[in-house]
């Protein structure tokens, strides 16, 4: 087993995808801000991940949680793990973020009703994926 295999294993186990919707002072008052982060890493795991990200031209922020919020950074990681999505520990977060990418928040010119429909769809999807709802 190579160090690249170990690094990929760390990625698949530790990466977290969050389809965050937060308040915002423009538009409908909200914005979608998907996030990718790596939580609870040892110093050795961080070193592996940083080297792996560099080798694969993936963005990597340093810090306690190694969090990336920029759209380009997020897309790079979401696309990179796509071939391994069935192996992800956080598959539900990856799927919700995928939905968010495929179904962007409506523009204000589309109207409030379009926004409400979008928000209800996102909420329903989240409940379905996390088994809080009946998947209707």
Separation between Cα atoms, residue 76 and residue 58, nearest integer Å: 6
Per the domain annotation, does 135 fall within a domain? Answer: no
Per the domain annotation, does 106 fall within a domain? Answer: yes
Per the domain annotation, does 40 fall within a domain? Answer: yes
Which residues in the chain show pLDDT less than 70? Answer: 1, 63-65, 125-136
The enclosing domain of 12 has a CATH number of 3.10.28.10
Per the domain annotation, does 116 fall within a domain? Answer: yes
pTM above 0.75, yes or no: yes
- Nearest to 122, CA basis, from 19, 18, 16: 19
Q: Which residues of 11-39 are buried (b: 16+ CB within 10 A; e: fewer)?
A: bbebbbbbbebeeeeeebeeebbbbbbbe
State the residue range of the domain holding 20: 3-129
Number of folded domains in the chain? 1
Per the domain annotation, does 136 fall within a domain? Answer: no
> For 19-39, what is each residue's pLDDT tens digit?
877 778 888 778 888 889 998
Per the domain annotation, does 37 fall within a domain? Answer: yes
């Amino acid at each position: 087993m190579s160090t690249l295999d170990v690094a990929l294993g760390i990625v698949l186990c530790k990466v977290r995808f969050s389809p965050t919707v937060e308040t915002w002072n423009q538009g409908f008052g909200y914005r979608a801000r998907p996030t990718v982060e790596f939580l609870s890493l040892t110093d050795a795991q961080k070193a592996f991940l940083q080297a792996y990200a560099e080798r694969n031209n993936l963005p990597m922020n340093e810090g306690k949680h190694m969090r990336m919020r920029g759209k380009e950074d997020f897309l790079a990681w979401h696309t990179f793990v796509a071939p391994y999505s069935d192996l992800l520990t956080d598959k539900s977060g990856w799927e919700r973020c995928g939905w968010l990418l495929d179904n962007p928040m409506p523009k204000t010119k589309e109207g409030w009703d379009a926004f409400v429909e979008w928000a209800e769809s996102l909420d329903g999807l989240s409940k379905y994926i996390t088994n809080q709802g009946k998947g209707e």
